[in-house]
Amino acid sequence: MKVPKDTLYLQSIQTVNSATTATFIWNGTSYTLKEGESIPDSPWKVLSIGDSSVVMLFGDTQVTLSTGQGLTK
């Protein structure tokens, strides 16, 4: 999947062994993160993971991303 540079894209949310993670694409790299984890070398941090959306922290701003949605900051 081609995602523009500096666009955070929420690819999927999955639960494995009762641990929920979210898979993101950021600048050509895929990251699977748990709550509280950050995308390396970026201002993005995962605050909470729901059934179909994720609340991210961008600096001091909370942003909600739905599955299949991309966000450019």
Reported as a single tens digit per residue, the pLDDT across 42-61 is 999 999 999 999 999 999 99
- Range(s) of the domain holding residue 52: 7-68
The answer to whether position 73 is within a domain reads: no
Q: What is the 3-state secondary structure (H, E, C) of 30-43?
A: EEEECCCCECCCCC
Is 37 contained in some domain?
Answer: yes
Residue 26 counted as domain residue: yes
> Into how many domains does the chain fold?
1
For residue 30, CA distances in Å to 11, 23, 24, 36, 61 come to: 9, 7, 6, 17, 23
| Mean of pLDDT values over 34-39 | 98
Average pLDDT, rounded, for the chain = 95
pTM for the whole structure = 0.93
- pLDDT at 1 (0 to 100): 75
pLDDT at 9: 98
Give the dihedral of Cα atoms 43, 30, 12, 69; nearest 10 deg. Answer: 60
Residue 52 lies in a domain: yes
CA distance 27 to 33: 16
